[in-house]
Amino acid sequence: MWLAFTSDRFDHSSELPPEANAGNRIYGQDVASFITAGLSERGLDSSFFDEDWGWQAHATRPDESVLEISIYHNPEEDPATEDDWAIMLRSLDKGRRLGITRFRETEVDAGAVSTLEEVFREAGIALRRTPPP
């Protein structure tokens, strides 16, 4: 599921440290931190990390499913939309097969979306459902 929001709250113009995102100029660490803090406040075990393409947050739900939240800045790369962000939300169920723990993607349920919307709504930011960029 893809969600989008517009906000000038998050950094998209400062110099990024060289060790962030394998040296790529990819913003979103503060978005990932914001999401993680909001989900943690709601009792989910949450963390975030950088990838070579951007930032990702994970949150384990009480049923042991995992929310995977990938963060993208200005996916259209349009200077007129510098305050636009996109989020890809996935739900992963944990299972075992042949003695190995595996995660299987499942449909994102309304509760997951509602929780994420609540995190943003408390900050005065509206999330919009969008098609993939």
Residues 26-76 pLDDT 10s: 789 999 999 999 999 999 999 999 887 889 999 999 988 999 999 998 888
**Which two structure tokens, joined as six digits, stand for 91?**
């739900």
What is the model's pTM? Answer: 0.87
Q: Residue 38 is inside which H or E element, if any?
A: helix 29-41
pLDDT-derived band at 90 (thresholds 50, 70, 90) equals very high
pLDDT over 60 at 124, yes or no: yes
Return the pLDDT at 81: 86
6 has a pLDDT exceeding 90: yes
Number of domains in the chain: 1
> How is 73-117 classified by DSSP, letter by letter?
E-TT--GGGTTEEEEEEEEEEEEEETTEEEEEEEPPPHHHHHHHH
Domain residues for 25? Answer: 2-130
